[in-house]
Amino acid sequence: MEAKADIYRYEDSNGVVHFTDAPTDKRFKIFMRDIKREKQLRTSFRISGDPARYESLISSCAVKYGVDKSLIKAVIHAESAYNPNAVSRKGAQGLMQLMPKTAQDLKVADAFDPAENIRGGVRYLRFLLDTCKGDVSLALAAYNAGLSRVARYGGIPPYQETRSYVSKVLEYQKNYQSN
């Protein structure tokens, strides 16, 4: 069994700050990630979680928000490899790697809750698809680099990370469509 060194914290109503490596209460939020585990997540895009566990949630969000189910799966695969506890080096959280400000704007209270994260991420994807007039590549570029950068460059920004991300997600989407 793999050891985890993530640290969680919450501040109670008396102002006392509590820390733990084994949260037993929903009030605990991630405070510090295990850097070694985070590096493993960034370098491996093999699925580390169980996609079947999220199938019904993905399906219902796909229908509710009108987003292709295979695209949702591809984004989750590329973003977190289906690890609901994933945190990027820039602070994005959960299955769909929502940045804290984006999660807050989407009314996602707990980005590590798979249901909240997927609902929020799919709503955001729907917004980006609408804003980009259905252009999946542009929506994915905006998901990765930000809508303002897509607007600034009038298309996919000239960042290798973003271009690779868009290609990878589109490839994953094709694979999910054919299975």
Where in the sequence numbering do the catalytic residues fall?
79
Q: At residue 72, what is the residue type?
A: I
Q: Which has the closest alpha carbon to 76: 136, 133, 143, 2?
A: 143
What's the token pair of residue 29?
Answer: 């939020």
Identify the bridge partners of residue 93 per DSSP, sorted by sequence position.
87, 98
For residues 42-66, b (16+ Cβ closer than 10 Å) or e, as one string? eeeeeebbeeeebeebbeebbeebe
